[in-house]
Structure 1
Amino acid sequence: MTINPILFPERSVWETLLTKSSFYTFFQTYDWMSLWILHFGRSAEVWEVKDENKTIGIIPLLKESDHYSLIPTSTVLNGQQVSDYGELIIEKGREKEVIKQVIGERLKVKDKKIILNFIREDSAILPVFKDLGVHAEEQDMAPYVVLPHTFDEYLSILSRHSRHELRRKTRRFEESGAEFAEFVGSDRQIESFFQLMEFDEKKKSFLTSEMKLFFKEIIHTFYNKKEANILFIEAEGKLIAGIILFYFRDEVLLYNSGFDPDYFHLSPGLMVVTQAIKDSIEKKKKVFDFLRGNERYKYDLGGVDRKLYRIRF
């Protein structure tokens, strides 16, 4: 078994390995990974693990000042993270031997540790690292909802208080005349979404010109594959809220959001997410993933925790 540095592999090599692996997430798809490396991967170092002439593992790393970090959960630009889940892509059944090889390779670079961020509790590699005596520390939470067959069933899983508040706010929203608006893939709508995000000062500083370019390419790429959408709310002739959604297998991922605080009384953030959950149920999706972060609204809408871990070695 050998490890060699390579450029990011061709789509066919990467996607073949994905099909042979036991676990990966949306953020390990070829389109996401390749666009991330295009925009942020100037110091990327990709390790290909081979057994004879067969690729059995690809380890995409970013070389930072004092460590290597796992792509795409490395920090970018001003310390921001744009990917919610990390994972090593390894052929099913070969995880332990590949990880041993990677640990051995890391030991050759004595002054640089490898840090794997946001490894899910259901990851294929987490138990392997633990078996090898590598410590994994709890890093974050990513709440999600297993979707029932109907929206009424979904409402029944909410707490009595959350259900009451949601119904009350929904009535007020409907009485206001506000409506949900369709995304048609236009740059103008994407710019409107950025404006909604920029009402939040933290998101405004996050949305540099480089970040906006990455977001535009990501949205267009996945929208054209019918794997992304922006759900908007329109009131009084303008867009007042929006969320980016990604579709992965039978899951819907809530990636980012923005709303106009002048319409706070209509609870536009809550209403647009609730509508996304309703749409997901109607489309027979099985999971609504709120992704990283323990914001209160995720739990009010039925979210249960999925633990994320950081692994250092």
Structure 2
Amino acid sequence: MNNNISISQHSNIQNIKEQWLMLDKIAEKQTSAYINYTYYQTYEWNNFLFHHSTDGLGKMTTAMRYDLVMVDDKPFAIIPFAVTRSSKKARIPSCRVGGVLNMVCPYTYEGNEEIMKAIADHLVESCKGMMLSLADVPCQTPFAKIMKLIDDNTIERTSFHVPLTQFATHEEYVSSLPKNIYKNIRKSYNHLTTDGKKMELKVFNHDNMASDSYLRYLWHFYFKRKMAWRHKSYNAFSNITTYLKAVYEVKSGCATASLKKLKDAQLYVLEIDQKPAAFMIVYRHNKHLLMPRLAIDTSFSRYSPGILLILEATKLWMNEGIVDFDMCRGDERYKKEMGGINEPLCRIEKRI
């Protein structure tokens, strides 16, 4: 096969909007697994990331780069990069919110080996002197195979999703969960009843967003919880630092900005007696959900609020015809307990 392959670099996403939207439309018509082309690969998400990363002081530290692959004068793929100016580290942009990263390409590796090899050669040639840090790419995708052409020593990590369509009802989904988690669920609901607690699920979006003070409260216990994940002690000083992080996130953070600006972003909060006990951020796309953030207020641990949050939300999602719920990267125990199926991700980090 002799393809007419050309690859050009662009620093402004607006310059390749037309080609990107064409790839989005092709992906919507494909029948391959959703993981091959998720919301994180769409123009909408990447346009948001571009403006968030380059507005203000961000453009002083990070340069955005988009490598457009054309085959026979038609768009074939786009490789987005965020390049740290000081370290020359090139990575797929995510603002630490993206949970599944990838090349923007609706085509398969098989039958396009010549093009894929050309992309690998281009990356090696165009990234000389740079640290190529490509992470959280689904192992089954074409870009993962391109990464192996660059460095065969890929590192894998876990990512879990729940295919909701395999269950006829929500009750069937719950009954499919492991016995120990099923018992914990019943126990949590019983605790709410015996303690006289009232539970409520609230859903926010960019048209109906929570107040900044409410968001600060959520992010404050998120950063507290993050310290526990990292086995760090919590004291008066760390209470101040985590609060300041929450203030910054609400004012300038990528996750909060996405909730306020993107129509496909939603915030789910489980309240117990009108106090937030757990929250998660969800992005909706083509009847699929991506959940890159979930945290609980540990003072409500008796009620397993994170588990109850997912359960109450899945009731809504199954009624709405949601196909799949992706809990994104990470090996947190609850992801497997909630029926998650592993979708391996891979990464490479190599000085070119």
Where on the TM-score scale, by shorter chain, does this alignment land: which range?
0.7 to 0.9
Look up the SS of the partner of 1:182 in the other structure.
Answer: strand
Structure-1 residue corresponding to 2:162: 145
Would you say the 8 A contact 1:180–1:234 is kept in 2? yes
TM-aligned CA deviation for residue 207 of structure 1: 4.3
Structure-2 residue corresponding to 1:27: 40
Structure-1 residue corresponding to 2:134: 116
Distance 2:249 2:275 in 1: 26
Distance 1:109 1:184 in 2: 41
Structure-1 residue corresponding to 2:217: 195
Mean Cα deviation higher: 182-191 or 238-247: 182-191
- The change in CA–CA distance for 1:306 and 1:91 in structure 2 (over 3 A counts) is closer
TM-aligned CA deviation for residue 119 of structure 1: 0.7
- The change in CA–CA distance for 1:52 and 1:151 in structure 2 (over 3 A counts) is closer
Structure-2 residue corresponding to 1:168: 187
TM-aligned CA deviation for residue 120 of structure 1: 0.8
Distance 1:123 1:212 in 2: 36
The aligned length equals 303
Distance 2:342 2:106 in 1: 28
Distance 1:174 1:281 in 2: 25
TM-aligned CA deviation for residue 33 of structure 1: 0.9
Structure-2 residue corresponding to 1:158: 177
Question: For 1:18-44, what per-residue CA distance to the aligned partner results, in whole angstroms no more than 9, with x for missing partners?
Answer: 233563112112221111121225311
Measured on the aligned residues, the alpha-carbon RMSD in Å equals 2.8
Would you say the 8 A contact 2:154–2:347 is kept in 1? yes
Look up the SS of the partner of 1:193 in the other structure.
Answer: helix
TM-score by length of 1: 0.83
Structure-1 residue corresponding to 2:51: 38
Match of 1:2 among 1, 6, 10: 6
Match of 1:216 among 240, 256, 265: 256
Mean Cα deviation higher: 273-282 or 63-72: 63-72
Look up the SS of the partner of 2:142 in the other structure.
Answer: coil
Which amino acid counterpart does residue 48 of structure 1 have in structure 2? L
TM-score by length of 2: 0.75
Would you say the 8 A contact 1:115–1:310 is kept in 2? yes
TM-aligned CA deviation for residue 253 of structure 1: 2.3
Distance 1:30 1:194 in 2: 29
TM-aligned CA deviation for residue 16 of structure 1: 0.8
Distance 1:190 1:98 in 2: 47
Would you say the 8 A contact 2:216–2:247 is kept in 1? no
Distance 2:272 2:106 in 1: 50
Which amino acid counterpart does residue 72 of structure 1 have in structure 2? P
Look up the SS of the partner of 2:136 in the other structure.
Answer: strand
Identity score, percent:
21
Instruction: Establish whether residue 92 from structure 1 lines up as the match of residue 107 from structure 2.
Output: yes
Would you say the 8 A contact 2:67–2:80 is kept in 1? yes
Which amino acid counterpart does residue 219 of structure 1 have in structure 2? L
Distance 2:294 2:211 in 1: 13
Distance 1:37 1:210 in 2: 18
Look up the SS of the partner of 2:329 in the other structure.
Answer: coil
1:260-275 pair list within 5 angstroms: 260-275=297-312
Would you say the 8 A contact 1:140–1:308 is kept in 2? yes
Q: Unaligned regions of 5+ residues in structure 2, if any?
A: 31-35, 228-241
TM-aligned CA deviation for residue 277 of structure 1: 2.2
- The change in CA–CA distance for 1:122 and 1:211 in structure 2 (over 3 A counts) is farther
Would you say the 8 A contact 1:178–1:233 is kept in 2? no
Question: For 1:109-156, what per-residue CA distance to the aligned partner results, in whole angstroms no more than 9, with x for missing partners?
Answer: 4322433211113323324554x4742523321112222121221122
